[in-house]
Amino acid sequence: MEKVKKFLSGKGVGYYLTLPAIALCIAALCLYRENGVTSFNPELNTRAIAYIVVCLAFCVVSLIVDFKPIRYVAYLFCLYAFMWFIYSQVTYIANIFVAIDGYTFSGGFIATAVMYVLSFLFTLLAAILNNWKPWGKKAKEEVRA
């Protein structure tokens, strides 16, 4: 138990933010596969799927190898996947903004977009806060006192 406690206390905030980033990437992928095909775009964009899978792979690798640039690369792939998702849905979005036939944003589209945005924000925060260990400061202050 002591080894596990030492291992977990030695990790920065970025390590723990990578875990929800992985969950959000999986949610974005599942939601896109379920809601990505509409009457405006008859097939899924393989690049949006491929880049989110690569982002997932980099996130998992960053959990094993605690190397800050890997988390930035994961963020870039996640952002790129979001951009391909928007690109694949551009006719759907344009039709809603023109409002000729009364379409509105579906719940699936909004949920997918939110998951993509949250996933790339969490991967960015994980990269930025990679070495920040607020619990380590308390332990150092207690030792000094």
Model confidence band, residue 140 (pLDDT cutoffs 50, 70, 90): low
pTM assigned to the model: 0.83
Distance CA 119, CA 111 (A): 12
Q: What would the pLDDT profile of 56-103 be if each residue is shown by its tens digit?
A: 999 999 999 888 899 999 999 999 999 999 999 998 898 888 887 778
Contact 126, 71 (CB under 8 A): yes
Contact 47, 82 (CB under 8 A): no
Taking the CB of residue 15, how many other CB atoms lie within 10 A of it? 19
SS3 per-residue string spanning 61-96: HHHHCCCHHHHHHHHHHHHHHHHHHHHHCHHHHHHH
Q: Which helix (H) or strand (E) holds 20?
A: helix 13-35
Q: Between vectors from CA 142 to CA 137 and to CA 145, what angle results, nearest 5°?
A: 125
Contact 25, 55 (CB under 8 A): yes
Q: Is the pLDDT of residue 108 over 80?
A: yes
Distance CA 60, CA 80 (A): 18
> What amino acid occupies position 105?
F
Model confidence band, residue 104 (pLDDT cutoffs 50, 70, 90): confident
Q: Is the pLDDT of residue 6 over 90?
A: no
Distance CA 90, CA 88 (A): 6
Q: What would the pLDDT profile of 118-130 be if each residue is shown by its tens digit?
A: 999 999 999 999 8
Q: Where are the domains of the chain?
A: 13-132
Whole-Å CA distances, 143 to 3, 11, 127, 138: 20, 19, 29, 9
Q: What would the pLDDT profile of 27-52 be if each residue is shown by its tens digit?
A: 999 999 999 888 888 899 999 999 99
